Amino acid sequence: MPAPLQAVVFDLDGLMFNTEDLYQQVGTEVLKRRGKEFSAELIAQMMGRQSHKALQLMIDWHQLDDTHEELAAESMEIMFRLLPNQLQPMPGLLDLLNSLEAAEIPKGIATSSTRAFVTRVLDQFALAARFSFVLTAEDITHGKPAPDVYLLSAEKHGVKPEQVMVLEDSQIGCRAAVAAGTHTVAVPEGQNEQQVFEGVKLVATSLADAQIYEALGIRLVS
């Protein structure tokens, strides 16, 4: 009999918020300025990776003269311009947070994004205080698809990896969570819906999917 789930860890980009949509706008603008295209193939390769690795992929893909630091600064300038009017929580997020809190199930965040970006996003919806911890790209050496961030998440929660439900939208993120031995749930959106999620326990339609609640043994609290 599997161990009961004791904690939840959320990815951030594309899972909690529509930031993957915004990143596509940012990448399109950055490359348009250089006469290049932000193709679906490149997007798929970049998704879920640490920022500097994703931007290096963009540089290598299009043989750009920029450094990843230069692209990061330019990308964040565009992104921070978009956030106030376009950032939105993904469907089901707030109800799921309410329901986890009602059931007294602790929750954390494990993301490949930078702490400065994550802080900005969480502050916009006053959500930071609702999580036990937030792990970002700066907190680990080996980013997703390595399992490190999810092993550290289980340690932070004080439980075994198999007692942690991880909610992820990307194939790379799911590979990390599966490799860590967690109860991995894929919640793909947009480009990610075409991906294959090997080893996951469940592919959910959204954070509102009843199967997530059933696996956790909790009820919906709006």
What confidence tens digit (pLDDT) does each residue in 164-220 have? 999 999 999 999 999 999 999 999 987 777 788 999 999 999 999 999 999 999 999
Q: What integer pLDDT is reported at residue 12 of this predicted model? A: 97
| Claim to verify: residue 129 and residue 192 sit in the same structural domain | yes
Q: What is the CATH number of the domain that holds 124?
A: 3.40.50.1000
pLDDT of residue 2: 67
**What is the pTM for the complete model shown?**
0.88
The C-alpha atoms of residue 220 and residue 96 are separated, in whole angstroms, by: 7
Going by pLDDT thresholds of 50, 70 and 90, the confidence category of residue 21 is confident
Backbone φ and ψ for 141, nearest 5 degrees, come out as -90, -45
What is the tens place of the pLDDT at every residue in 130-147?
A: 999 999 989 999 999 999
Asked if residue 145 has a cis previous peptide bond (ω within 30° of 0), the answer is: yes
- Domain total in the chain: 2
Least confident of 1-5, 50-54, 187-191: 1-5
For residue 2, being part of any structural domain is answered with no
Contact call for residues 153 and 147 (beta carbons, < 8 A): no
